Amino acid sequence: MKAAIHQLQYWPGLRFFAKMRASDIFIYLDDVQFEKREFQNRNRIRTARGWQYLTAPVVSKGRFSQKINEVELDNSAGWREDHLRAIKLNYARAPFFKEHLPALEALYARDYRLLSDLTLSTMDLLKDGFGIKTPVKFSSELKVEEASSARLARLCAAAGADEYLSGAGAKAYLDPGVFSFAGIKLSWQDFTPRQYPQAFPGFEPDMSALDLLLNCGPAAGEYL
């Protein structure tokens, strides 16, 4: 059984869901340290001028070592209304925008205290939109204490997997020997993004997968 593992993300990108679809079980890494200015609380959407970030504000002052599943959202500003407005403005002409608008409005109508609840809502919407049936687990449920490569290998074993599918970017820091010692086969994701139709002229790569869903609808899976 092949497992893939990734931190929770807000409106993740194409590589995230390509890896999820290619695995037999997907583990949400939710009990590791939150990293500011990464993609755990932000991602990019397409605009007429190129792209812009949607960033969910979080409470971080004095909380430098908090885990992803502990991070609280800063709801003092109207960020939910701003994000929904930005999506409506930039995707009004996308072919499948109207089809998914009710789900988007429902998502942003909910009250969220924790970042993890928000990210799960966005990931579930996209997962369902792409028709991905891969079962998921949370690393916090598996009670693994190790760090780095050993943590990933143990998570695979705890989930009943004998193969780990890793993003190619991890080749710089993963230790293959740790996986070999644990009896876990290490394989690498082979994903090359392809251009797809976007709502504005030209093509901007590395957008949130929401961009693909709203532009390509049922055909989106061909690009994952």
Is the pTM higher than 0.85? The answer reads: yes
Sign of CA dihedral 52, 54, 59, 64: negative
* pLDDT value for 67: 96
222 is a domain residue: no
Average pLDDT for the chain: 96
- Number of domains into which the chain is organized: 1
Q: pLDDT tens across 5-14, in order? A: 999 999 999 9
> From CA 77, how far away is CA 75, in angstroms rounded?
5
223 is a domain residue: no
Q: pLDDT tens across 122-178, in order? A: 999 999 999 999 999 999 999 898 889 999 999 999 999 999 999 998 998 999 999
204 is a domain residue: yes
> From CA 12, how far away is CA 17, in angstroms rounded?
8
> From CA 177, how far away is CA 191, in angstroms rounded?
24
Pairing of strands 25-29, 2-7: parallel
224 is a domain residue: no
Number of H helices and E strands in the chain, helices first, is 8, 7
| Domain ranges, residue 142 | 2-217
Q: pLDDT tens across 188-202, in order? A: 999 999 999 999 999
Distance of CA 160 to the CA centre of its chain: 23
Distance of CA 14 to the CA centre of its chain: 9
